[in-house]
Amino acid sequence: MRIDLSGRTALVTGSTQGIGLAIAVGLARAGARVGINGRSEGRVDGAIAAIRAEVPGAELVPVVADVTVEVEAEHAVSELGVVDVLVNNLGVFGAEDPLEVTDDEWRRYFDVNVLAAVRLTRLLLPGMMDRGWGPRTQHRQ
């Protein structure tokens, strides 16, 4: 299937490696302007170089931010302006017995795996819906 995302902007959280990087490559191939997100400038720059090697001419925007922190999530959104596609890819896990995970570690998992996605969705979804792009749900009045 070929999807044309020319003229659209996407943000992929945690896109400096693994699945997030692969998603960013796919979106770039589809013609989207893609925000490449990670917490360090070096990792973001490395991901951008890797994507450009696979998709010459890709329009990529470095988004160095820890989106688990509210002010940095807001910064990430402001770096891109209008965002049409949000891929909440960021996530952490531990290879531990769940009965031995501390409350602090469970809170960290929740902050990263849930709250970061909720925060970005809250920031971006209203604009997507106003533009008739994104989920096909009734916009609140």
Query: Along the 141 residues of the chain, how does pLDDT read in single tens digits?
Result: 789 999 999 999 999 999 999 999 999 999 999 999 999 999 999 999 999 999 999 999 999 999 999 999 999 999 899 999 999 999 988 888 889 999 999 999 999 999 999 999 999 999 999 988 766 555 554
State both tokens at 78.
Answer: 């402001």
CA–CA distance, 117 with 4 (Å, rounded to integer): 25
**Residue 46: its pLDDT value, please?**
98
Q: Of 84, 81, 72, 82, which Cα lies nearest the Cα of 37?
A: 72
Cα–Cα–Cα angle for 79, 123, 57, rounded to 5 degrees: 35
3-class secondary-structure state, position 95: coil
3-class secondary-structure state, position 107: helix
**Residue 80: its pLDDT value, please?**
93
**Residue 134: its pLDDT value, please?**
67
**Residue 94: its pLDDT value, please?**
80
Helix (H) or strand (E) holding 124: helix 116-130
Q: Of 107, 104, 103, which Cα lies nearest the Cα of 115?
A: 107
3-class secondary-structure state, position 139: coil
**Residue 141: its pLDDT value, please?**
47
The pTM assigned to this predicted structure is: 0.89
Q: For residue 131, which phi and psi values (nearest 5 degrees)?
A: -90, 0
**Residue 98: its pLDDT value, please?**
85
CA–CA distance, 27 with 39 (Å, rounded to integer): 21
